[in-house]
């Protein structure tokens, strides 16, 4: 029996077998356990977290998490691997052939969902202090509001990644023409901030890749960029746990997902000195190109 149906059956008391069977059948029929297997905060905010492209204004969820989606892989739950126990083997390629590793022994840092007027400058300062470069996955509507931050990111030697116009988690399921228009609009907005700048990567919001969105990104000359390590910093676990999750799950060549936008990033910022210091010592930090 599929897991969800089994759970439905277990949740009902003996003696109500007929009801349990009906509930299980209903779950099977719907094809879902209500709201999937996601924690409540993720589901409420992810599902509502697109931005009205027409109005160009964010949905009213300023403190909501961003980024990693239901399809994420390799995300540590509860702090990662236990000491002495080797982590389960992880794939070298992301969903639908997307990039998951740097291709060298050094690891790479990526920051999603900015630019943000409060947090992006502080993250940039951390990177400057530690003398490392990162990739910033930019949301078009936020580029429109903060073009000077895009210019600063580029001026300081970091790499850009298109992260869609309005962080639409379902973008990959739309017709290819619509996907192309979204990615094009985002690239145009980025280049309005920094004329002619290279945008070598595209990252699908929530990691909700589809063959269509991978195809369009490639057709527009962008490498579809997934990640290997997701400390779930958007869930505000606190700096020590972010640091621990990265420390226990990063391997040689990992691409690490972090966030400079999409809400209060104080924990991510506070984790940066220890995280970046450790990654530099253990692997080296490289810039994706
Ligand atoms: Zn995101």
- pLDDT tens, position by position, 72-129: 333 444 344 455 676 668 899 999 999 999 999 999 999 999 999 999 999 999 999 9
Residues 120 and 254 in one domain: yes
Interior/surface letters 142-173, b for 16+ CB within 10 angstroms, e for the rest: bbbebbebbebbbeeebbbbbbbbbbbbebbe
Higher pLDDT, 129 or 62: 129
- Helix (H, G, I), strand (E, B), or coil: what is residue 283? coil
Range of weakest confidence among 63-77, 152-166, 217-231, 261-275:
63-77
pLDDT above 80 (res 60): no
Asked whether 95 and 146 are in contact (CB, 8 A), the reply is no
Q: Which two tokens stand for residue 263?
A: 């809400």
Would you place residue 48 in the very low, low, confident or very high pLDDT band (cuts 50, 70, 90)? Answer: very low
Ligand 1 centroid to Cα of residue 48, in Å, is: 13
Residue 108 domain flag:
yes
pLDDT of residue 286: 98
Respond yes or no on whether the N-terminal peptide bond of residue 81 is cis (omega within 30° of 0).
no
Number of neighbouring beta carbons within 10 Å of residue 52: 11
Mean pLDDT of 122-145: 98
Conformation bin of residue 144: beta by default, left when phi > 0, alpha when psi is -120 to 50: alpha
Higher pLDDT, 75 or 39: 75
pLDDT above 90 (res 18): no
Q: Distance between the two ends of the chain, CA-based, in angstroms?
A: 46
Residues 220 and 147 in one domain: yes
Q: Which two tokens stand for residue 165?
A: 């116009």
What is the span of the domain harbouring residue 10? 3-34
Percent of residues, the chain, with pLDDT higher than 90 = 68
Residue 274: closest CA among 126, 133, 137, 159: 126
Would you place residue 53 in the very low, low, confident or very high pLDDT band (cuts 50, 70, 90)? Answer: very low
Render pLDDT for 161-187 as a digit per residue (tens, 0 to 9). Answer: 999 999 999 999 999 999 999 999 999
Residues 12 and 72 in one domain: no
pLDDT of residue 3: 44
Residue 77 domain flag:
yes
Number of neighbouring beta carbons within 10 Å of residue 25: 12
Distance CA 191, CA 256 (A): 26
Residues 27 and 49 in one domain: no
Residue 289 domain flag:
no
Residues 184 and 156 in one domain: yes
Higher pLDDT, 48 or 132: 132
pLDDT above 70 (res 261): yes
pLDDT of residue 82: 54
Ligand 1 centroid to Cα of residue 103, in Å, is: 23
Asked whether 205 and 261 are in contact (CB, 8 A), the reply is no
Residues 134 and 220 in one domain: yes
pLDDT of residue 252: 97
Range of weakest confidence among 53-67, 135-149, 152-166:
53-67
Residues 22 and 132 in one domain: no
Distance CA 74, CA 92 (A): 11
Residues 30 and 98 in one domain: no
DSSP 21-65: HHHHHHHHHHTS-TTTT--HHHHHHHHH---BTTTTB--S-TT--
Out of 163, 167, 226, 259, which one is annotated catalytic?
A: 259
Out of 66, 112, 182, 230, which one is annotated catalytic?
A: 112
Render pLDDT for 191-250 as a digit per residue (tens, 0 to 9). Answer: 999 999 999 999 999 999 999 999 999 999 999 999 999 999 999 899 999 999 999 999
Residue 68 domain flag:
yes
Ligand 1 centroid to Cα of residue 27, in Å, is: 30
Q: Residue 100: which CATH number?
A: 3.20.20.370
Residues 66 and 182 in one domain: yes
52 is catalytic: no
Q: How far out from the chain centre does Cα 274 lie?
A: 21
Residue 175 domain flag:
yes
Residues 17 and 49 in one domain: no
Range of weakest confidence among 9-13, 59-63, 95-99:
59-63
Ligand 1 centroid to Cα of residue 112, in Å, is: 5
What does residue 24 show for φ and ψ, rounded to 5 degrees? Answer: -60, -40
Asked whether 146 and 30 are in contact (CB, 8 A), the reply is no
Host H or E run for residue 269: helix 266-282
Residue 259 domain flag:
yes
Distance CA 76, CA 167 (A): 23
Q: Which two tokens stand for residue 119?
A: 């947090």
pLDDT above 90 (res 38): no
Residues 151 and 262 in one domain: yes
Alpha-carbon Rg for the chain, nearest whole angstrom, is 20
215 is catalytic: no
Maximal CA-CA distance, the chain: 69
pLDDT above 70 (res 190): yes
Residue 288 domain flag:
no
Q: How many domains does the chain have?
A: 2
Q: Which two tokens stand for residue 117?
A: 């007027």
Mean pLDDT of 248-266: 97
Residues 166 and 278 in one domain: yes
Residue 129 domain flag:
yes
Q: How far out from the chain centre does Cα 209 lie?
A: 11
Q: Which two tokens stand for residue 229?
A: 């390590």
Ligand 1 centroid to Cα of residue 69, in Å, is: 9
pLDDT of residue 284: 98
């Amino acid at each position: 029996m599929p897991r969800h149906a089994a759970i439905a059956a277990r949740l009902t008391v003996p003696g109500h077998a007929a009801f349990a069977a009906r509930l299980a059948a209903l779950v099977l029929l719907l094809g879902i356990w209500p709201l999937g297997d996601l924690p409540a905060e993720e589901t409420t905010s992810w599902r509502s977290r697109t931005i009205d492209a027409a109005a160009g204004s964010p949905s009213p969820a300023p403190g909501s998490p961003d980024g990693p989606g239901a399809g994420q892989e390799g995300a540590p739950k509860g702090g990662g691997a236990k000491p002495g126990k080797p982590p389960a083997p992880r794939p070298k390629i992301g969903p639908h052939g997307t990039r998951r590793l740097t291709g060298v022994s050094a690891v790479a840092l990526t920051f999603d969902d900015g630019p943000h007027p409060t947090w992006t400058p502080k993250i940039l300062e951390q990177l400057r202090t530690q003398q490392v470069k990162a990739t910033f996955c930019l949301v078009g509507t936020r580029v429109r509001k903060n073009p000077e931050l895009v210019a600063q990111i580029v001026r300081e030697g970091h790499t850009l990644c298109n992260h869609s116009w309005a962080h639409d988690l379902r973008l990959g399921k739309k017709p290819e023409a619509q996907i192309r228009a979204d990615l094009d609009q985002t690239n145009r907005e980025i280049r309005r901030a920094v004329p002619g700048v290279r945008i070598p990567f595209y990252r699908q919001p929530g990691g909700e890749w589809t063959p269509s969105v991978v195809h369009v990104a490639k057709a527009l000359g962008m490498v579809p960029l997934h990640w290997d390590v997701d400390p779930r910093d958007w869930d505000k676990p606190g700096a020590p746990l972010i640091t621990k999750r990265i420390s226990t799950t990063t391997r040689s060549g990992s691409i690490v997902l972090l966030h400079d936008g999409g809400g209060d990033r104080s924990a991510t910022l506070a984790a940066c000195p220890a995280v970046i210091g450790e990654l530099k010592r253990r692997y080296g930090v490289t810039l994706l190109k």
